[in-house]
Amino acid sequence: MINVIGLGYIGLPTALMLASHGVKVIGTDYNNELVATLNTGKTTFKEEGLDELFQKAVNTGIKFTTEYQVADTYIVSVPTPYDKFSKKVDPCYVIAAVKDIMKVCPKGATVVIESTVSPGTIEKYVRPEIEAAGLVIGVDLNLVHAPERIIPGNMVFELLHNNRTIGADNKIIGEKIRELYSSFCQGEIIVTDIKTAEMTKVVENTFRAVNIAFANELAKICRHDNMDVYEIIKICNMHPRVNILQPGPGVGGHCISVDPWFLVGDYPSIAKVIDESMKTNDGMPDFVLNRIYEIMKEKDMIDVTRVGLYGLTYKENVDDMRESPTLQLLESQERHLATGLKVYDPFIKDDVVNNQYHDLNTFLEAVDFVVIMVKHDEIKENMDKLKAKIVLDCHNICKLPDVYHI
């Protein structure tokens, strides 16, 4: 039996995937409300194919609870935030989960940590907890790190098809966990050691962060000297060895905007490119805010309440707002003691910010200037409604004439 600890964006789909492939699974989360929702038969976030997967898993007997279970394998998918000052990973949730597991687990159980951690975290923080409890690692309890790679927006497909990495202390346990993931994973599964697995995960997200930062920096250079960054990237990408990503209003989500900081925190005197890249990405919401003021000035517009931000989520077609560039921009606006920007996102039904709208048409009636912060399909399908507006398109998706870009 597998006990999946933490039923968030990664733990829930993983638990459902295992259960729907015939593995006996119980999902545990300390959040009563979340567990109650799952037990009423509803998923807790939107993701293509998740509801169908949920139904399948429920039919094959998955259970959800707030209690830790007696199981032979535990999969830990809890958040790993970073400390805003030191930039280092904060492993408190992982440690708490391992401590709770040790209260119930039988001798010889395996703990698989899926949460993203910086290289050495398991060595530095998790092993000592287990040893302090008087358990011998490799005898009483086995440790494995199996970082996930699925992308929000395409999670179910990627869970099935991505290659995976398993880090383990010894081959036998590594192979055992590889077999568990093979129950659903059609990709290649590599077994390595724990520290290598920790590093690969952080490096993958850092690679993307640095590449996005490069695109964002190009956008700034091009803005400074009035060049078309999109045309330039398009042409450069026709070179056989160049593949530049797209600039945008900032980098959000709980991975790419967080994980690279772990390396800066742990290796501050070495990780210079990464540090600068993260600062470049983090500066984008402010850059957009400046663009808004510049364009308002150009258009002799003085009423900021006639400006609307389209999109609140961290990227297109998901309902996840964590570290979203729009939220960062609104925060920055407040720091400048200016407020009044209107906001709308089709994926956010609750009121989460001031001046938030819940219907596209009403939102558009209330503003003259629209800033496309997120390229949801909805706005792509309704571009003609922006015809009479001033538009700042942060994603280069609007083909109307006289559109502004970052």
Binding site for ligand SAJ (CB under 6 A): 116, 148-152, 204-205, 208, 212, 245-246, 248, 251-253, 255-256, 314-315
State the nearest-atom distance from the C-beta of 80 to ligand SAJ, in Å: 10
The angle, 0 to 180 degrees and rounded to 10, between the axes of the packed helices 259-266 and 194-224 is 100
Among the options 185, 222, 255, 398, which is catalytic? 255
Burial (Cβ within 10 Å: 0-12, 13-18, ≥19) of residue 125: middle
CA distance 3 to 19: 11
Q: Which residue has the tokens 């700034």?
A: 220
DSSP 3-state assignment of 344?
strand
State the nearest-atom distance from the C-beta of 265 to ligand SAJ, in Å: 17
Are 149 and 164 a contacting pair, CB within 8 Å? yes
Count the neighbouring beta carbons within 10 Å of the beta carbon of residue 350.
Answer: 6
Q: Which residue has the tokens 């959800």?
A: 64
Nearest to ligand SAJ of 8, 120 (CB atom): 8
Catalytic residue at 222? no
Percent helix, strand, coil in the chain, to 5, is 45, 15, 45
State the nearest-atom distance from the C-beta of 40 to ligand SAJ, in Å: 27
Catalytic residue at 255? yes
Q: Which long-range contacts (CB under 8 A, 24 or more apart) does 398-404 make?
A: 398/372, 404/291, 404/295
State the nearest-atom distance from the C-beta of 212 to ligand SAJ, in Å: 4
Are 82 and 258 a contacting pair, CB within 8 Å? yes
DSSP letters of 27-47? EE-S-HHHHHHHHTT--SS--
State the nearest-atom distance from the C-beta of 208 to ligand SAJ, in Å: 4
Q: Which residue(s) pair with 137 in the sheet? A: 141
State the nearest-atom distance from the C-beta of 338 to ligand SAJ, in Å: 24
Q: Which residue(s) pair with 356 in the sheet? A: 343
Nearest to ligand SAJ of 105, 256 (CB atom): 256
CA distance 327 to 322: 9
Among the options 87, 105, 185, 201, which is catalytic? 201
DSSP letters of 71-106? -SEEEE-----B-TTT--B--HHHHHHHHHHHHHPP
Q: Which residue, 29, 37, 107, is CA-closest to 68?
A: 29
Nearest to ligand SAJ of 188, 402 (CB atom): 188
State the nearest-atom distance from the C-beta of 314 to ligand SAJ, in Å: 5
CA distance 389 to 363: 12
CA distance 62 to 192: 30
Catalytic residues: 201, 255
